[in-house]
Amino acid sequence: MPPTITALNPSSGPPAGNNTVVITGTGFTGPASVFFGGTATTFTINSTTQITAIAPAGTGTVQVTVVTPDGVSAGFPYFYAGPPTLSGANPTQGPSTGGTAVTLTGTNLGGATAVRFGTTPATSFTVVSATQITAVAPSGTGSVQITVVTGGGTSNGVAFSYVVGPQLTGVNPNSGPLAGGTAVTLTGTNFTGATAVRFGTTPATSFTVVSATQITAVAPAGSAGAVDVTVVTPGGAATLAKSFFYLDIPALSGISPSAGPLAGGTTVTLTGTGLSGVTAVRFGTTPATSFTAVSTTQVTAVAPAGSAGTVGVSVVTPGGTTNTVAYTYMPVATITVLTPDVGPVTGGTIVTITGANLAQTASVLFGATSAGFTVFSDNQIVTNVPAGSAGPVAVTVVTPGGTSAAATYTRIAPPAI
């Protein structure tokens, strides 16, 4: 049977020839000849399945054949390649841990037998065409030259830089509303050339690399809870686990007390949900004199001074601004007349108090003694005078707006016999 050729290694070489080519096949016995196209060349028969031949000079693609006493093999293609050249690499940098897929462009890249990053072989490579190779960068440091080796020789080098990976150490502020939009400052190292910032798996709405140690980013919308923050650079990715918290929108359900004097100073308790991280409490548009976040469901605040009327009280947190609850600024009550303004020391007299701002009366005092009362309108209260000593006594009305100026009621002792 005539011999067969199943492989050539390498399958290409320089036009000048003189390179060693290993021919693999069958039937390599007896006196023989090896031809590259029509040119015979020197060779050594290693075994019935292998011959080592020296390629002669040539151009283009030729057919390699083996001749034995049993016949002539079918031709196997061999390519005379010009020396490879590289014109570019993309990307031109990657992490020191390696793993970057790099696309190399140039000429005469077919039949490449090696791709090197400096002196280190690529982790793997694929010859896409005579003008393109994809290669996976091995680990390394600094700046190296990438070269390609073919049967036609070794290419010129193109630069590739190994970049140290980033480290992320801080996220400030570390919380914001579900709707996103929070401007966040990220601190760390090796941020230069950052290509992405992610909150969980969602890209930041936008980000700016301020320096190698700082990035500002706008948080995207998210769901309630903590997410990882990640910075991606050509040197790799850095993640700070559970470092940004999406907060529920806060809500208020109540305020107590719900009224106070124009001068302010009333301590009110606000109840609701999502009240962690309170940054402000407002009475209308006026900030509270002070406030304390007691828990996620309660805040105490001191009302500022205000004008007569009702305002909405709201709480601001990183999660947003609450709805409002009503708080009324009340002027102090006034008493214009007591009818009657005299009665026995034994008490029991029904007295009508006429005045203004009486609707939210909390107590009626005869001296320091509380009296029963009924509010009929903002201008009128009826009270039952308590027993007391003979003589004048100060009558005052207490409302959320304060304590009224006193009116005088006189108790008269019974006549002596």
Confidence of residue 417 (pLDDT cuts 50, 70, 90): confident
Residue among 234, 221, 194, 222 nearest 210 (CA): 194
pLDDT digit string (tens) for 245-254?
A: 998 889 999 9
Q: Which domains does the chain have, with CATH numbers?
A: 4-80 (2.60.40.10), 85-163 (2.60.40.10), 172-247 (2.60.40.10), 251-330 (2.60.40.10), 334-412 (2.60.40.10)
pLDDT of residue 10: 87
The alpha carbons of the chain give a radius of gyration, in whole angstroms, of 47
Mean pLDDT over each residue of the chain, to the nearest integer? 95
pLDDT of residue 30: 79
Confidence of residue 60 (pLDDT cuts 50, 70, 90): confident
- Mean pLDDT of all residues in 323-346: 97
pLDDT of residue 248: 85
Cβ(150)–Cβ(113) under 8 Å? yes
pLDDT of residue 234: 86
Residue 31: DSSP 8-state: S
pLDDT of residue 190: 95
Share of the chain above pLDDT 90, in %: 86
| Bridge partners, residue 372, by sequence | 384
pLDDT of residue 250: 93
Segments of 248-289 assigned E as strands: 251-256, 259-261, 267-273, 280-283, 286-287
pLDDT above 80: residue 416: no
Q: How many CB atoms lie within 10 A of CB 60?
A: 10
C-alpha to C-alpha distance for 269 and 396, rounded to whole angstroms: 27
Cβ(28)–Cβ(48) under 8 Å? yes
Peptide bond before residue 10 is cis, with ω within 30 degrees of 0 = yes
pLDDT of residue 76: 97
Strands 114-117 and 236-247: unpaired
Q: 322: burial class by Cβ within 10 Å (0-12, 13-18, 19+)?
A: buried
Q: Over the range 231-262, which residues count as b (16 or more CB within 10 Å of their CB) and which as e?
A: bbbbbbbbebeebbbbbbbbbbeebeebbbbb
The full 3-state SS of 99-128, as one line of letters, equals CCEEEEEEECCCCCCEEEECCEECCEEEEE
DSSP string covering 37-60, please? TTEEE-EEEEETTEEEEEPPS--E
What torsion, rounded to 10 degrees, do the Cα atoms 127, 131, 132, 133 define? 40
pLDDT above 80: residue 31: no
pLDDT of residue 151: 79
- Mean pLDDT of all residues in 199-210: 97
pLDDT above 90: residue 377: yes
- Mean pLDDT of all residues in 347-360: 96
DSSP string covering 163-213, please? EPPPEEEEEES-EEETT---EEEEEEE--TT--EEEETTEEPSEEEEEETT
pLDDT above 80: residue 323: yes
- Mean pLDDT of all residues in 145-163: 93
pLDDT above 90: residue 79: no
pLDDT above 90: residue 36: yes
Output the CA–CA distances (angstroms, integers) from residue 133 to 115, 148, 331, in the order listed: 9, 9, 85
pLDDT digit string (tens) for 256-265?
A: 999 999 999 9
pLDDT digit string (tens) for 252-285?
A: 999 999 999 999 999 999 999 999 889 999 999 9
pLDDT of residue 379: 97
pLDDT of residue 415: 85
| Bridge partners, residue 310, by sequence | 328
pLDDT above 80: residue 313: yes
Confidence of residue 13 (pLDDT cuts 50, 70, 90): confident
Q: Over the range 15-47, which residues count as b (16 or more CB within 10 Å of their CB) and which as e?
A: eebeeebebbbebbeeebebbbbeeebebebee
pTM value surpassing 0.85: no
- Strands ordered across the beta sheet of 50-54: 4-9, 20-26, 50-54, 43-47
- 3-state SS assignment for residue 381: strand
- Mean pLDDT of all residues in 285-301: 97
| Bridge partners, residue 402, by sequence | 399
| Bridge partners, residue 127, by sequence | 133
Residue with tokens 């000079």: 57
pLDDT of residue 12: 85
